[in-house]
């Protein structure tokens, strides 16, 4: 069964480009093998990740993520069954806090700072629908 899980977490320390590269390369390698797709955003020291794939595979990954010391305060924000994937081209795309995305983050935040912990499920879903159409991805 195909599901989608969205969670937020806070970086546990300042993460540099090497940390991000390490997260992305492990994600791309493992997610391709596990049939998981999705997107990861990092802004304001907060990660927001949407994972799509088989329910058991996504649960296994989520349990592994909980043990990763690079982040903390992990909270599931949305979990639902989906009829099809959306991030078909991305084993894990990274959306950075580059200037071009700043307005997009602001559009979906009730405060000036990006705060997915406070977003409703509907807002989160609209945010991910829009980033598919309209973002600057980091390579």
Ligand X SMILES: Cc1cc2nc3c(=O)[nH]c(=O)nc-3n(C[C@H](O)[C@H](O)[C@H](O)COP(=O)(O)O)c2cc1C
37 in contact with ligand X (CB under 6 A): no
65 in contact with ligand X (CB under 6 A): yes
Residues 94-133 that bind ligand X (CB under 6 A): none
Is 64 exposed, middle or buried, given 0-12, 13-18 or 19+ CB atoms closer than 10 A?
A: exposed
6 in contact with ligand X (CB under 6 A): no
Say how far apart CA 2 and CA 11 lie, in whole Å. 28
Other CB atoms within 10 A of residue 129 CB:
11
Question: What is the β-pairing status of strands 93-95 and 37-43?
Answer: parallel
Options 5, 6, 8, 31; binder of ligand X; rule CB under 6 A: 31
Binding site for ligand X (CB under 6 A): 9, 23, 26-27, 30-31, 40, 47, 49, 61, 64-65, 68, 70-71, 92
């Amino acid at each position: 069964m195909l599901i989608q899980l969205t969670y937020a977490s806070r970086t546990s320390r300042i993460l540099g480009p090497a940390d991000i590269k390490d997260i992305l390369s492990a994600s791309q390698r493992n997610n391709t093998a596990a049939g998981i797709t999705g997107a990861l955003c990092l802004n304001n020291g907060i990660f927001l990740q949407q994972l799509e794939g088989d329910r058991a595979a996504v649960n296994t990954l989520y349990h592994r993520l909980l043990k990763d010391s690079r982040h903390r305060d992990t909270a599931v924000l949305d979990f639902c069954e989906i009829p099809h994937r959306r991030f078909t081209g991305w084993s894990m795309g990274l959306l950075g806090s580059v200037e071009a995305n700043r307005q997009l983050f602001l559009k979906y935040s009730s405060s000036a700072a990006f705060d997915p912990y406070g977003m409703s499920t509907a807002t989160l879903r609209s945010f991910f629908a829009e980033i598919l159409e309209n973002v600057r991805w980091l390579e």
